[in-house]
A and B are shown apart, each in its own frame.
Chain A
Amino acid sequence: MTIKKEAPLRPVQSVTDLCHTCGSCSAICPLTGAKGFNPRKIVYMAIQERDQEIIDSPWPWICTMCGRCEHACPMGINIVNVIRTARGMVDRKNVPLMLQKGIELGLETGNNLGLPDEDFKFIIEDVASELADQPGFESFQVPFDKKGANLLHTLHNKLVNTQNEDLVHWWKIFHVAGEDWTIPSRNWEGVNWGYFSGDDEVMKVFVGRIVEHMEQFEIKNLMYPE
């Protein structure tokens, strides 16, 4: 497996026919120069199949995959996919620790924090009862695992962890709008770090859990916060 073969290219199949080495990507990237980062160089290295040099460098992980480079590319080379493919080829023990640890906890427990389901329920109900103390929200409750709801609301783990105060914004909107919503009592994780780590199999597991929940509870729409 090489990056060149793995990363789907467009509009033709050979990147060697595409890159003019014009440097538009490097000129427009705010990160060019940091730790020797240079999108044009990375594309050229992928063309030459110098994959290991890319994989062993910090470049795949300092790039935010924002896509500004490929937006500027006159030839439409999918540079973000080159980066993400390289991430996926990094040995899992060399993936940034926080990312990999979150993934492992997510696979094991259903959320990247490794928070037990009963603790999750406690935090949510605690914050919900505080909201119910506010005028106009007296009847507010968080509906867990509601069958047939219109909207499934998954949560970014940081709201359940250190930023509890940011849980209530959507809840207020739902309450005032009369939305028929629900949150999962498990597998509530609303970020997919398999996407970030370049691991498609992990990504599919996390997506699959949400799909399964929606099918089981016959929920019509998904609201995914990330």
Chain B
Amino acid sequence: MDKTKITGRVAYHDPCNYGRKSEELFGHGFYEEPRWILDQCVSEWVSLHPDKGTQYCCGGGGGTLQTPYKEERFIYGRKKIEQIRQSDAQMVVLPCHSCHGQIKALLEENHMNHIPVKYLWEVVADTLIVDAD
């Protein structure tokens, strides 16, 4: 992994399904695994606070992105935007397709779309050192 490829502070968002809900339903929340992966790929990252079991949902989970309730999604997402602002991060990283879509829409709505949103596996792919085939 090349940790110099991504510069600036990265903020990590815990998706409900990988964390709190997995912990409840399967007895294990995936909190440490993504953090270990980030340690390998980027030099400076923080968790959005509060994190892990008490994190805030992005506001787009549970199929709500497929409903017409856009206004409610933005109300739900106000906490997420506040957290991202407070983190002072230049990139948001997360491992969930729903969170990805919702947080991108939230950033756009709040005129913060200079902050890119990346999948955790995208960060891994982007920082891989690729040898000749």
How near does chain A come to B94, taking the closest CB pair, in angstroms? 13
User: A98, B67: Cβ atoms under 8 Å?
Assistant: yes
State which size class the interface on B falls in: 35 or more
Verify if B124 is at the interface (C-beta below 8 Å from A): yes
A residues in contact with B126, CB < 8 Å: 169
| Chain B residue with the shortest CB-CB distance to A171 | B125
How near does chain B come to A189, taking the closest CB pair, in angstroms? 12
Out of A37, A63, A65, A226, name the residue touching B97 (CB < 8 Å).
Answer: A226
A residues in contact with B20, CB < 8 Å: 66-68, 71
Which of the candidate stretches B3-11, B75-83, B85-93, B107-115 sits at the interface with the other chain?
Answer: B75-83
A residues in contact with B21, CB < 8 Å: 66-67, 80
User: B132, A136: Cβ atoms under 8 Å?
Assistant: yes
User: A71, B53: Cβ atoms under 8 Å?
Assistant: yes
- Report the bound CA distance from A76 to B8 in whole Å: 41
How many A-B contacts are there with CB distance less than 8 Å? 126
Max chain A Cβ within 10 angstroms of own Cβ: one of B62, B67, B69: B62
Which of the candidate stretches A27-35, A119-127, A206-214 sits at the interface with the other chain?
Answer: A27-35
Interface SS of A by simple majority: helix
Out of A65, A97, A168, name the residue touching B125 (CB < 8 Å).
Answer: A168
- Report the bound CA distance from A140 to B125 in whole Å: 15
B residues in contact with A62, CB < 8 Å: 64, 67, 69, 72, 76
- Report the bound CA distance from A176 to B66 in whole Å: 35
Verify if A114 is at the interface (C-beta below 8 Å from B): no
How many residues of A are counted as interface, with CB atoms below 8 angstroms from the partner's CB atoms? Answer: 45
User: B61, A64: Cβ atoms under 8 Å?
Assistant: yes
User: B54, A176: Cβ atoms under 8 Å?
Assistant: no
How near does chain A come to B57, taking the closest CB pair, in angstroms? 3
A-B contact pairs, 21 of them (CB 8 A): A34-B76, A37-B72, A58-B69, A62-B72, A66-B61, A66-B62, A71-B53, A71-B54, A97-B68, A99-B66, A135-B133, A136-B131, A158-B97, A158-B101, A169-B125, A170-B125, A173-B128, A176-B131, A196-B62, A226-B96, A226-B98
Which residues of B does A touch, CB under 8 Å? 16-17, 20-21, 24, 53-57, 59-64, 66-69, 71-72, 75-76, 78-79, 96-98, 101, 119, 121-122, 124-126, 128, 130-133
Which residues of A does B touch, CB under 8 Å? 30-31, 34-35, 37, 58, 61-68, 70-71, 80, 96-99, 102, 135-140, 156, 158-159, 166, 168-170, 172-173, 176, 191, 193, 195-197, 225-226
